[in-house]
Structure 1
């Protein structure tokens, strides 16, 4: 090895690539099987082997932590993944982390990491909408871009990121919006930036606290409360609400119609929830906008909360974390305003 080559090798970022399964690790029977395929069958080493240029991007080591579709991710997996990443980030010989993940709940996992990891080092969560066996699979380029972002000093201090379709999204905002298209991931305020010709370019910053400025640390969390989600629809009765209240939840996110509107047939069961010590958080099923406190419902009277702009499934993540430290309704509401 020449002196110049050795210097270049030392300058490469040291990245740990963690595999958890998902479509990016899937395989279909035919190249045209872009939506019907076996999920989570390839190892992280198999995936990396199909991306030989990765060695030029960073000094990469791999770990296979899980091998499951992300619809199977629960609190146990969130905690295990978060604690493993936290231990890796503490090491001086590691500069960043890339997690390959199923797209179904990638936005939930990323948001959890965004709020609980106490390090400015880049953490990038990446998946694919098409398996590696499919024509025009997005997995290889998504992974390439994720490694590029994780290896870049520009990504420091920006929290957990989701990279997909050449876009760089903050974990707080990004949601999956389509079942099969490659541009499935969107943020209501737009991406933070893009990967252009193999280089990350940022145009804005996350506005809400995260990582080192968050009040939660993964190393201090041993368990998460059960928080449920109820999706509203026309003609709804309260049977499903009462069933979820009896399931052991500590809070329920009600994905209501419009600006958090709650039908008359549902109000009594949600009022009862609060009397039983179960927190009620009004959200919206619309996928956009802000739910206004004391507008559609008298939240102060009922001692309910509102989600601000968070979709129900991400409000669930935030509420689970909030309940590890707080139970006062006013302080819990402040959490939704702050994060």
Structure 2
């Protein structure tokens, strides 16, 4: 037993001596734990290093990610209270990923998102890319209408450079705020070469989703942004950007000269439904009507008759569904071909509305051509 103890002590002393020697050697060449790789391989000065980083333009629109606490109630906050530069400053390590510039486009909760803000974003992003001001763009945005903004931008931006939307479910002043980590990961994705040509992306909670596929699925959970029909594009895994799906062809429409977009109403289907909501939409001179139908986009006989009347008057009628998952296919329970309707396929009512607005603005109203547009990319 004494011999074993003596040998263990000897081995321990030997290991300690070797460790000390290794630490001294590493200090001599600047390889201490945490030192950047370029300390030994690329002795550039700080300004040169910064100039070599990818350029990211951050456009802030407000939302929960820029929210601050309010005393009116537990968990209460005011969206859009914190500015773009403050958001950047709150995220440690961003300066090592990219050379960032920030601009405030709006300071609103995304429930107040408007066509005007969409057009400002589209024009500013296109300008930044056309003038070579940025290599990629990150947009901070509220989650309520994030999917609609992302899809709108994906349809009108003429670029293969990455555009990433990011938000949070907890305000910046909350305990366990998810905004800083989400912003960091959004920038990671924006500067990753794998993101080129993938259109507009949404990054939250370690997950990467496409503009077409993503939707908000939970009122409070940090895992709210999901892609029920198309699946996520990839993940941010311990600092690595991992895409699981190949690059998909993009659909592109011309951005109209100015806001607003044509009036398109969403009609929510329910039991004991009559035609009154649809008749009101016709009277209000809607150019399009999206049915948030039951099941596979069905509704009552009275509502269907009113929708047929709308279609006969040149109003674009699209059947979508209030159900969170699944496709709406043509001519299943409803005779779309006879009635002049369009089936939304994988698009939920809010995205079907965005696509319909842009199609009408581009002069595409024939049901056959509108249906082709809903099928594009799939």
Match in the other structure for 2:367: 329
Higher relative contact order (CA 8 A, sep 6+): 1
Q: Secondary structure at the match of 2:62?
A: coil
> Which of residues 72, 79, 84 in structure 1 aligns to 2:124?
84
Match in the other structure for 2:84: 44
For residues 86-165 of structure 1, the aligned pairs below 5 Å read 86-165=126-205
> Which of residues 290, 298, 304 in structure 2 aligns to 1:261?
298
What's the TM-score, normalizing by structure 2?
0.84
Residue-pair matches, total: 332
Instruction: Output the CA distance in 2 between the equivalents of 1:281 and 1:249.
Output: 13
What do residues 269-306 of structure 1 show as CA deviations (whole Å, max 9, x unaligned)? 11111122211111111122111211111111111111
Instruction: Output the CA distance in 1 between the equivalents of 2:303 and 2:77.
Output: 40
Match in the other structure for 1:319: 356
Q: Shift of residue 179 of structure 1?
A: 0.7
Name the larger-Rg structure: 2
Q: Shift of residue 20 of structure 1?
A: 0.4
Conservation of the 8 A alpha-carbon contact between 1:118 and 1:217? no
Match in the other structure for 1:271: 308
Q: Secondary structure at the match of 2:356?
A: helix
Instruction: Output the CA distance in 1 between the equivalents of 2:320 and 2:121.
Output: 28
For residues 170-319 of structure 1, the aligned pairs below 5 Å read 170-188=210-228, 189-207=230-248, 209-210=249-250, 214-218=251-255, 221-223=257-259, 224-319=261-356
* Structure 2 unmatched runs, 5+: 1-41
What's the TM-score, normalizing by structure 1?
0.93
* Structure 1 unmatched runs, 5+: none
Q: Provide the aligned C-alpha RMSD in A.
A: 1.8
Instruction: Output the CA distance in 2 between the equivalents of 1:321 and 1:87.
Output: 20
Instruction: Output the CA distance in 2 between the equivalents of 1:215 and 1:17.
Output: 23
Conservation of the 8 A alpha-carbon contact between 1:262 and 1:297? no
284-293 or 121-130: which moved more?
284-293
